[in-house]
Amino acid sequence: MEFELWMLLVFPLFFAMGWLTARMDIKELLTESSLLPRSYFQGLNFLLNEQQDKAIEAFIEVVKVDPQTIELHFALGSLFRRRGEVDRALRMHLNLVERADLDETKKQQALFELAQDYLKAGILDRAELAFQQLLSSAYAKDSLDFLLEIYQKEKDWLKAIDMCQRLTDLTGRPHGKEAAAFYCELATLELARKQVDAATVHLEQALEVNPHAVRATIMLGDIENAANNHKQAIDIWKRIQQQDAQYLQLVAERLLHAHQQIDREDAGITLLQEYQAKYPSHDLMNVLFQAILQRDGAEAAYQLVRNELQRNPTLLGLDKLLEARLLEVTEKNRADVEMVRNLVHQRTRSLSMYYCSSCGFKARQFYWHCPACHGWETYSPRRSEENGLRI
C-alpha cells in the first residue's frame, strides 16, 4: 500500500474528533455527578466500608431530595433481603411505603417488597396482611403464590385450598393436585380426632378436585379396613390401578393382609402376581416373596425371585435372590454366599432410595410431601434403580 499525502491531513482530524468527544463525555459526566445529592456519595462510601446502617440513612436522604433515585432504594432493599439482612431491607421498604408523595404504582411495588421482607423474617401475620392488600393489584398472582406458601407453613389447609381455587380462576392453570393434598391433610387431622365421617368427606373432596389423588384412595381404603370392611377396602385399593398403577406397590401388603382377613389369601397372592406381571416393582416383589415363602416354602420363593430377575435384571433383584438362596444353602457354602450378598447389599443401599423429582432429596421412606423442597407428590413410589437413577 502506497502512502498518500492526503493521509497526513486525515490522521490529525481523527485525533481531534476523538479528543473533542472524550472532553464532551467527561463534561457530561461531571455535570450529571454534580446534580446528585451529596448524601448519595456518602451512602456509597458507607456501603463500601461495610457500614450498612449509615448507608441506609444516607440513601433515605437521597430519595427525599431526589425521588428519581427511588429505584436505588428498591435495588438495595432487595440486595439486603437476599443477603439475609432482613432488618435493613425492612427499614428501606417501610420508608417507601410510608411516603405520602409516592405514586400508587411505586407504593404497590414497595408494599410487595415489604411483604417479602416480612415473609423472609418469619413474621407471617404481617406478610399475609400485606399480600392480601395486593390481591387487586398487578401483583395479584405473585401475592396468591406467597399466600399459598404462608398457609402451608401455618397448616391452615382450608385457606390454602381457597388460594388454589383463586389461582386457578386467575391463571387458568389447575391446582387440583395441591388442593387434593390439602384435603388429605385435613382428613389426617380428623382421623387423629376420631372423626371418621368428617375425614371421609375431605377425602371425597380430594378426589373431586383431583380424580388421580392416590393418597386419598389409600386413606379411604384404610378407613374401611379399620372398620373391618375388608372387602370394601380391597375394592377401593384396586382403583389405584386406574389412577396410577405404579402406586400399587404402596398397598401391596395392605391388599394381601385384607385378603387374609377374609380367608382369601390365595386370591390375594394371585392378584399381586398379576400386578407384578403388568407393573414390575421391587417392593411388590418383596411382599410376594414373603407370602410365597410362608405358603409354599423357600424353593418356591427362590424361583419367584429368580424368574423376576431374569425378566427385570437389577441389583436390587440380585440382592433379593441371594437372600432367598441363603434360606437353602448348606453350611459349607453359606459363608461364600453371605460374603457376596453383603457386598451386593452395600451397593443396593443407595439404589433403594426414594427420590424427589423436584429437588433430588433422597430418603429411605416414601413421602407425599418432600421434606426438603416441600413439593407435593414429587416422590416416585419406585426405588431409584427402578427409575434408572444411579445415586
pLDDT digits (tens, 9 = 90+) for 208-234: 999 999 999 999 999 999 999 999 999
Question: How is residue 252 written as a grid cell?
Answer: 401391596
CB 75 within 8 Å of CB 82: no
Q: Please indicate, yes or no, if residue 214 is contained in any of the structural domains.
A: no
Q: What is the pLDDT of residue 1?
A: 45
Q: What is the pLDDT of residue 337?
A: 63
CA dist 129 → 119, 133, 145, 240, 374 (Å): 11, 6, 14, 41, 23
Q: How does residue 362 score in pLDDT terms, banded at 50, 70 and 90?
A: confident
Look at residue 34 and tell me whether its pLDDT is greater than 60: no
Beta-carbon contacts of residue 43 (< 8 Å; ≥ 6 apart):
55, 56, 58, 59, 61, 62
Look at residue 129 and tell me whether its pLDDT is greater than 70: yes
For residues 229-248, average pLDDT: 96
Q: Please indicate, yes or no, if residue 283 is contained in any of the structural domains.
A: no
Q: What is the pLDDT of residue 21?
A: 47
In degrees and rounded to multiples of 5, residue 362 shows phi and psi of -105, 145
Q: Please indicate, yes or no, if residue 343 is contained in any of the structural domains.
A: no
Total structural domains within the chain: 1
Beta-carbon contacts of residue 257 (< 8 Å; ≥ 6 apart):
none
Q: Please indicate, yes or no, if residue 178 is contained in any of the structural domains.
A: no
Q: What is the pLDDT of residue 281?
A: 85
Q: How many Å is the maximal CA-CA distance in the chain?
A: 112
Q: Please indicate, yes or no, if residue 364 is contained in any of the structural domains.
A: yes
Residue 367 structural domain: 349-391
Q: Please indicate, yes or no, if residue 378 is contained in any of the structural domains.
A: yes
For residues 305-313, average pLDDT: 79
Look at residue 319 and tell me whether its pLDDT is greater than 70: no
Q: Please indicate, yes or no, if residue 359 is contained in any of the structural domains.
A: yes
Look at residue 36 and tell me whether its pLDDT is greater than 80: no
Q: Please indicate, yes or no, if residue 362 is contained in any of the structural domains.
A: yes
Q: What is the pLDDT of residue 352?
A: 64
Q: Of 60, 59, 121, 111, which Cα lies nearest the Cα of 85?
A: 121
> What is the pTM (predicted TM-score) of this model?
0.77
